[in-house]
Amino acid sequence: MPKNLRRSLRAAVVGGGIGGLAVANALMRKGLDVVVYEQAPALAEVGAGVMIYPNSLRHLERMGFRERLASVGARIGPLSAFHRSDGSPVGSFQTTDSTGWNGMYGMHRADILNTLAADLPSGAVLTGHRCVDFRQNSEAATVVFDNGHTAEADLVVAADGINSALRRFVSEPKPPVYSGMRAYRGLVEKALFDAWPDDAMLVWMGDGKHFMVYPVRGGTILNYVGFVPTGGETVESWSAPGDRGQLASSFQGWDKRITTLLSKVESCFWWGLYDREPLDSWTNGRLTLLGDAAHPMLPHLGQGANQAIEDGIALACFLEGTSATDVPAALQAYANLRAPRTAMVQVEARKNGQRYDSRYANLAQRDDEIKSSAAFRKSLFDYDVEKETMWSRQSSAMVGTVSSNV
């Protein structure tokens, strides 16, 4: 190859969830050759909802997904609100950034996964590949899979979730931190109810537990999640079958809207709520972590998938125009930018869970904090990771120029 022609960087993304497919799209749009390796036999998400907020939606729209997401999502509007367990109102739920832009969708996880996968070229996603080993040298990185396949790349992105197989090659794993809560979740047809808003996220807060409902698939389906305390640690599984009777009894005597909804539930799933303390490092040479592999967080801000999407945008921006030799430095710059942001969101998610679950002697204080949380949510939604990344790159270049002239 002539020296003046630079080949495209090769990226291996391990994990075909929302974070993995989002970063694959972002990297592809920056000119990288990308292959996603997913351990499951097919790309799939069990039936569950996910909130997409302005801080990630603006980037998905910039990548060209505006119309497709609008067609499969349910726009969340100004009727969104917080309530006490008996249904009495507490305050509105912030649905816009500080400019007033409403970039908030309730989405079925399978719908956003399919949307992201559809834009990748044929052959860019390989299923049935479970990562079992990793090695690297100064020239390239290699991922080894249980089916005997190996993949060589200029960089490897570990987007393989809270139980990441690659995290051990980057940092000493942090033990899971159990929140003391279990979450039941499921879907019900909105047509089963006479009057339920198709564009509102509703949250009820009670004695040590809370419940939320929001629409997905254009408002035709309601996604519900009930958070209840447990006596001991439980598994982290997203797909453990739940006991619908136990779920219903946990919210007996609450707002009639909840008890009516739960009377229509035929089956549900549950998962134990864990996060982890921030890692000491996100990168090791040509390997970096993304999403839950780097920063698993509690769901009480709905930011897990959104932060993973932010990660992918930042990583792609840092790698744009980078040579294979400079990949490790680009990955470290990505980690330096993202780690403080995600650590802050992890902490705030924990605090928000305490508010929702009413661990206050004075509920009026809790209600006031909920009302005042709009300012924080605006700042969270205003964050533009693409602009922050470009500013970081420019600042580093200026520092380098000054240093070279000294």
CA-nearest of 304, 302, 248 to 276 is: 304
| 214 catalytic residue (yes or no) | yes
Q: Which of 37, 53, 105, 214 is catalytic?
A: 214
Is the CB of residue 42 less than 8 Å from the CB of residue 293? Answer: no
Rg from Cα positions in the chain: 22
How many Å apart are CA 333 and CA 393, to the nearest integer?
8
The CA distance from 85 to 210, in Å, is 8
Residue-wise DSSP of 317-370: HHHTT--GGGHHHHHHHHHHHHHHHHHHHHHHHHHHHHHHTT--S-HHHHHHHH
Q: Are strands 89-92 and 81-84 parallel, antiparallel or unpaired?
A: antiparallel
- Residues 400, 385: Cα–Cα separation, whole Å: 22
CA dist 143 and 135 (Å) reads 7
Neighbours of 171 (CB within 10 A): 16
Catalytic sites, residue numbers: 214
